[in-house]
Structures are given as C-alpha cells and as structure tokens.
Amino acid sequence: MLPPRFLRKWLCSIALLHACFAFSAPLQPARNMEVRVASMDAGAVRAEGVHLRFSTSAQKALAPMLNIDVAKLLVPAISAELSRVSWRCEALLLEPLQCDGALSVNGRAAGRLAVALEDGKSTLAWAQGARRLGLAQSGELPWVVDAQRMPVAWIQAFLDELWEGGRIGQGEVSGRVVLAEGSKSAPIRADLRLSGLGFDTPDGAWAGAGLQGGLKVAFASTGLETHVGVSGEFKKGELLVSPIYLAVPASGVRFGVTATSRADGGWALEGLDWHDADALRVRGSAQLGADDAIQRLALKTESSDLSALRQRYLDGVLAPAGFPELLLAGSGQAQVAMDEEGLVSLDVALADTNAIDPRGRFNLAGLAGNLRWSRDSAVENSRLTWKGAALYGLGIESAELNFRSGNGQLALAQPMRAALLGGHLQLDRLVWQPARGGVPLSMELGLSLDDLDLGSLSQRLGWPAFEGRVGGALPRALYQNNRVQFDGGLGMSLFGGQVRIDDLVLERPFGVAPSLAANVRFDDIDLGPLTRAFGFGEITGRLDGRIGDLRLVDWAPVAFDARLLTDKQWKGARRISQRAVQDISDLGGSGLVAGVQAQVLRVFDDFGYDRIGLGCVLKDNRCRMSGLKARGAGYVVVAGRGLPRIEVVGFRRDVDWPTLLARLKAATEGQSLRFD
C-alpha cells in the first residue's frame, strides 16, 4: 500500500530541501542561478532530474525566488515513487533562511510547504486544507513531528517492520511524535489521537473499523532487541480479534502492553491489560513464536457483569457452539495458563450466575462455586451448586456437583442425585478434558432416570398425554469433534415395556443441521395407554418392533427401516376400536376393509384381531409400505379374529412421506378419515 500522495510529497521535500539549500547557500551572491543535477542521493530519498532555479530582482523590494523541480523522487522506506514534484518559493529570505511556497506533484496542487533554517534550528511545515504536518529540530534536541488530521495509511511501511501482514485502511491521526535519535530508552515516542481508524489482516482474524481514541507508543531498538510499549483508549468503533467481536461501548475501553523482541524472531509480552468497565478486565503476559503462535500465556480475567460480557464479547464464541441467544447474568473470575500444547491450568469462580437458553434447552439459576483444573497436578475441592435448573423444561431441584482434577481431566468426584418429576435424576459420570496438541477436547456423561412421572414429562415436552412412570439409563456418552457417541446404548422402561436405543450417534448437536443415527427396539409395549395418549382410536395388546438405520437431520427423519408388530404371544384381550380401524385403513391410502362392508363396520364399536403389522422403509422422502403378509397386489395390515371379522389391506406401496405425516397428524387430532 503506498502512502497518501500529499504525505509522500512532504517527506521527499524535507530531505531534498536540506540537500538543495546546503548546495546553493555558497552561491547566494549571484543574482540568477540555475543548477541541473542528474541524480541526488540524500539517504532516505533519491532524486532524479533535479532542476533548481534561484533568481533575484534588481528591485530590492522584491524578495528572491526559488523553484525546485524534480522529475522523479524515490523514497524506498515508504515504497513511494513520485513524478514531477515542484515547489515554488516566491519570497525567499536568505538571512535567516526562510521560504514558503506552493507544492505540486504530477501537475496537481499539494498544499503549501514552509521551511526555516536559523542558528541550528530547522523547521518544516506542510498544510493542505484541514491537514497539517510539521517537523522541528534544534541543536542536539530530538526531532518533533506535529500532525493534524493526517491519514494513517502512510505508516504502512513502518508497520510492516513490526506486524507482518497488518494492513491499515482508513483513518486519520493527530498528535506528536518525538524522534529521539541516539536515546537508548525511547528513540521514538508518540502521543496520538485516532479517528475512524480501520485495519485488517489477510486472513481476517484481526480487524478494526471506525476506531476513535488515544494511543501512546514508545519504540526503541538496540540492534539486538526491539522494545515497543503501547497504551491507549478506544472510545468508539468496532474491533475483531477472532473469534471475539466488540462494538466499543460508550464508556470506552483502555488497553496496554509492552513487547520485547527475541533473538528467535518471537516476542515477549508483559503488562497485558484490557479494561472494559464492569464487563471485562484482563491482565497477564505471553510469549509468542516467530509465527505469532502462543508459546506461553497467563491471564487473569474478571467480570462483575456477565450480561455485559455476553453482549460485547461472546457472540463469536457462543454462536458456533449452538448458543447464539444465550443470556447470562452474575459475576465471575478466571485464571488461565496455556502453552504450545494447549491449556495448562484453569481456575473459574462464579457468583450468583444465571444462564438462560431462550430456546428452552436449559436454564440455570443461582449458579455459584469454582472449578479448578490442572493438566499436570492433582486438584481437589472443586465445587458448583445451583438453586434451580431446568433441562428442556424439566425442573431439577437444587444440587451440588463436586469435582476433582487428575491425569489432565476434570471429573465428578461422586454421583449427583437430584429430584425430578416425582422421581430422581442421577448424574453418575461427568468428565471434561481440554484439547492438547493434536488430541481434541472431549466430554463424557453418564446418567440414569428413576421413576419419573410420565404424565408430567409429557406435558412439559409437549407430548401426547401419556400416563405411567418412566425410567432409564445412559451408561456413557462421549462428546468429541462436535460428535456424541453413546456407548452401551440407552434403555428406558415405558408403557409397561422396554425401549432400547443402540448405535446412537449425534453429530453437530448444537450446530447447523444436527444429525442423529440410531437403531431402536420396542419390546412388550402396552398398546392401550399408548393409543389412548395419541388419540389413535384404541387398541389393546402388546407391541414389539424396531426402527433400524434411523437417521434424522435437523431433528426430522430422512431415512429408516421400521416394522411394528403386535405380540402374538400376548394372552390378554386383543381388541381394536372402529376408530383405530379407520385410521389404520387410511394410512396406506386406498385402504380396503374386507369381511364386512364399510356401512356395517360403523355399527360395531370394536373388533377382535389376530395380529397387526405395519412396515415402512423411508428413502428419498418416500415410504415403502408393507404389512403382515401379501394379499394379491396389496398387503395385510390387520388380520381379523372372531366375529364380526375384519381385515385391513393396504394397496399403495409407495407413499409420499409428507403425505403420510399429514395423515398421522390428522388421525391423532381426531379428524374425520374416509375409506377408499
């Protein structure tokens, strides 16, 4: 990126004017003088095609004139190459030497430049509109640069020496820079005011826009080491340090750091400080490698207002994790240590913290306590408590979790048992292990449910009005790489029978389009309460079945191989209501009730049956239907028994899945169905 045109002109003119004045001073007695130089090298500036004209008038009232034209100016330090640089000084004073005139580059006006050399004191001042830039030096004193509303992009070349890849865009700077050449403590000191600053990196990990505030910089280099001290305040703007995005609050943020270069190309950062009122205070130190990778990091953070912390800093962290709208309140502190392999130690303390998921997945109230973890040593007495909690609308009474740290893991020291829906939830296993080197973060969970009220559970989850009690166990679930693997399966007691879920895998549980794969088996489910709860007529008997190769995407089924059969070993009554016959008949489309006419069917309330069987293989949004056995071009769904005898036969083998769902919904809502 080239510096702005007007600043390049000014920088070039400084070195060129000193060279030209030094060259022309001995020739002052001449009335008219013209000098042409093919090339000049003034160190930081090279000039080609230099044309200097000096003239005096016979009338003493008229001041001498000085014109300097340069065909090409090269300033390698700032990657500048300028053409047709001209300075017209129409009122030259020789004793003391002073000149003020218009500056132009490539035929375009570039403000005015004034130069004064007197008794070892040098001053140069450039102005264009509201922009001002001045340079002054006296004797052995430092050079002092004063700026007013100067674009900051001109320092890109200097920034490249300190921050490879950092790119400055928009913005203006005002203030003072002291170039204390020869001083070992701080050869460059700057006190600046920034307005509208914008910057970024090629990978987009760092960026700023519209930043306004103050900045103090101290820079020193001994040849072996470079020292940079930065402190300041942002009062307005936006800042991205991926994954954290901050819209600077009205109260502003203060920051500071001292950096020292190392022989290996890395940096040592001391006095790291970030202060954002009650939302966040961070202090610490770090060691960075030549590639900017973290080699050592130690931070202390605190927030007395987690709500403000959440709003200002955590969107970029919580949204990818699946909690874009999470609400936080309370206060907390944390100490974190890291090295090249990852987290070394963690100490988190929370006080009266609330966490609410607006999607209703979980809520925590009055969370307090601390978590202490160490990668390399054992830590005891780590504890969290809450006053109230809810999981998917299921209230969990107050409880306490005790942890211990060892072997790089934070683990539950003892099972946690809490009252839930008239029964109990027991958390048997909870293990957290952060990422280290190439090994990703992992979390393990094991729990059991004991004697929960199924009616209350159904009501809170929005299910049909089931009745009875439910229990089950999840021996172990492992979360790693955004994937949950359920080892040992999940077993539940439900409707007097058993439900078993095996080979359960959940991917992206909190991300975009979560997917689930599983195999489900039903054994001896009591059909009476099940069908009554769903409003699907009424059937007595017991149900066995399976749902194999089940796959859900975004919690909607996209594939499975399901087959449901009544238990023919059941010794009790097997009855099916008229309503259930109608509903089953309609599911396959164009169902046929054989053995009696539809008009006669309505005379009876229920019927005996021998077996009921229904299958569906879902693929490509279509369901391939099957039943107990083939019957001509169709399939038997209900095999009758006794008198009056009925038989339900389906004829449509392929049914559109959305259509089938609509029919099931209509059946469970009690809508009128027809016979085909």
Residue 60: domain span: 1-131
Amino acid letter, 526: D
Specify the pLDDT at position 456: 84
- What letter does residue 5 receive in the DSSP assignment? H
Residue 224 in any domain: the answer is no
Q: Higher model confidence: residue 178 or residue 23? A: 178
Ranked by mean pLDDT, which of 45-54, 62-71, 339-348, 651-660 comes out on top? 339-348
**Domain closes at, from 102, 131, 160:** 131
Number of domains in the chain: 2
Looking at per-residue confidence, does 602 or 431 come out higher? 431
pLDDT given for residue 672 in this prediction = 38
Is residue 639 in a domain? yes
Last residue of a domain, one of 72, 104, 131: 131
Whether residue 448 is contained in a domain is answered as no
**Residues 559-611: tens digit of each pLDDT:** 999 999 999 888 888 888 888 887 777 765 544 444 444 555 566 678 888 99
CA 296 to chain centre: 23
Indicate whether 260 belongs to any domain. no
For residues 523 and 545, give the distance between their C-alpha atoms in angstroms, rounded to a whole number: 7
Instruction: Tell me how far apart the alpha carbons of residues 411 and 363 are, in angstroms, rounded to a whole number.
Output: 22
Q: pLDDT tens for residues 117-136?
A: 887 788 888 898 899 988 88
Contact (CB, 8 A) for 511 and 320: yes
Domain stop point among 116, 131, 146: 131
Tell whether the model's pLDDT for residue 98 goes beyond 60. Answer: yes
What pLDDT band is residue 183 in, cutting at 50, 70 and 90? low
Report which of residues 641 and 71 the model is more confident about. Answer: 71
3-state secondary structure of 139: coil
Mean pLDDT of 187-210: 89
How confident is the prediction for the chain on average, in pLDDT? 83
Mean pLDDT across 299-308: 96
pLDDT score recorded for residue 598 = 54
Tell me if 430 is assigned to some domain.
Answer: no
Q: Does the structure show a pLDDT above 80 at 56?
A: no
- Least confident window among 37-41, 128-132, 642-646: 642-646
DSSP string, 586-640: HHTSS-EEESS-HHHHTT-SEEEEEEEEEEEEEETTEEEEE-SEEETTEEEEEEE
Average pLDDT over residues 423-441: 90
SS3 of 26, please?
A: helix
Q: Is the pLDDT of residue 95 over 60?
A: yes
The whole-number pLDDT of residue 310 equals: 94
In a domain, 364, yes or no: no
pLDDT, residue 231, reads 96
Average pLDDT estimate for 488-503: 84
Whole-prediction pTM: 0.72
Residue 475, both tokens: 């021996």
Q: Is the pLDDT of residue 329 over 90?
A: yes
| pLDDT at site 28 | 46
141 found inside a domain? no
- pLDDT for the residue 64: 79
Looking at the domain assignment, is residue 500 inside a domain? Answer: no
Q: What is the pLDDT of residue 585?
A: 74
